[in-house]
Amino acid sequence: MSDVKNILLVGVGGQGIILASKILSTGLMNAGYDVKMSEVHGMAQRGGSVTTQVRFGEKVYSPIIGKGQADILVSFEKMETGKWIEYLNVKGKVVVNDYEILSAPILIGKEEYPRGIMEELKEKTDVTVFKAADIAKELGNIRTMNVVMVGALVKAIGLDNIDWEEVLRNTVKEKYIDINIKALRKGMEQVK
């Protein structure tokens, strides 16, 4: 189905990816699209990789995205970008949080965190990299990093006409609404 758009969010358990995709799909549903979302969890809370896939359009069948099909890959952790890049459409975009989470083999000194992934990917496709964690920390709460990423994502894929601030008002707890709206705006500023 050619009119269906595909968004792939990847990262590590505990980074708020599930909530980010909830915000995203709520906004898309409000905008009148058919939406499907698939997530893989279970062992994720125990430090494993997490992915959620959001598909939207007039009519969506499969809830999962195929290889070479994602219009945008949103990566919350640098190394995870490499693991999922084959799912990106060759004309797609990548938005990356410049943030490293060391996995078990790296922590025990058996392997080293890979270098040069971003440089290699930038040669091959349209990549935007920025430090969402630092932006979230400056705003006063590192946990808003996921909403910074949502901001960058909706700008990059041209969905900034949807009222995302309204979606935030209805999805996050009242005392966190203001900071999340700021995070959303900051995220949108990261993408030209």
Partner 1 sequence: MKKFLTGNEAVARGAYEAGVTFASAYPGTPSTEILENIGPYKEDIYAEWAPNEKVALEAAIGASIAGARALAAMKHVGVNVAADPLFTYAYTGVNGGLILVSADDPGMHSSQNEQDNRNYAKFAKVAMVEPSDSQEAKDFVKAALEISEKFDTPVLFRMTTRICHSKGIVEFGEREEVGIKEYEKNIPKYVAIPANGRVLHVKVEERLKKLEEFSNTTELNRIEWNDKKIGIISSGIAYQYAKEVFGDKASYLKLGFTFPLPMKKIKDFADQVKKLYVIEELEPYIEEQIRAAGIDCIGKEVIPRIGELNPDIIAKAILGEERETISFDESKLVSRPPTMCAGCPHRGFFYELSKKKNVMVTGDIGCYTLGSAEPLSAMDTCICMGASISAGHGAQKAFNKHGVDKRVVAVIGDSTFFHTGVTSLLDIAYNRSNTVTVILDNRITGMTGHQENPGTGYTLQGEKVPFIDIPSLCKSIGIENVKTINPLKLDEVSKALDETLASDEPSVIITRWPCVLKKPTPEDIEEFGNEKFVCEVLKGDCKGCRICTKTGCPAIEFDSNIKKAKINEDMCVGCEVCLQACPFDAIEKVGE
Interface ranges with partner 1 (CB under 8 A): 1, 12, 25-26, 29, 34-49, 60-64, 66-69, 79-80, 82-83, 85-90, 102-109, 111-114, 117, 120-121, 124-125
Instruction: Quote the CA–CA distance of 80 and 32 in Å, as a whole number.
Output: 31
Least Å distance, CB 181 to partner 1, is: 22
Instruction: Give the residue with the Cβ less far from partner 1, 112 or 174.
Output: 112
Cβ burial 173-186 (10 Å sphere, 16+ → b, else e): eeebeebbbbbbeb
Closest CA to 6 of 65, 62, 48, 50: 65
Least Å distance, CB 138 to partner 1, is: 17
Instruction: Give the residue with the Cβ less far from partner 1, 1 or 178.
Output: 1
Least Å distance, CB 189 to partner 1, is: 27
Instruction: Give the residue with the Cβ less far from partner 1, 6 or 180.
Output: 6
Least Å distance, CB 2 to partner 1, is: 10
Least Å distance, CB 44 to partner 1, is: 8
**3-class SS at 135?**
helix
Tokens 């995203």, located at residue: 24
> From residue 119, how far is each of 82, 123, 136, 141, 159 by CA, in Å?
11, 7, 24, 29, 27
Provide φ and ψ at 123, rounded to 5°: -70, -25
Instruction: Give the residue with the Cβ less far from partner 1, 29 or 185.
Output: 29
Tokens 């938005």, located at residue: 95
Instruction: Give the residue with the Cβ less far from partner 1, 48 or 177.
Output: 48
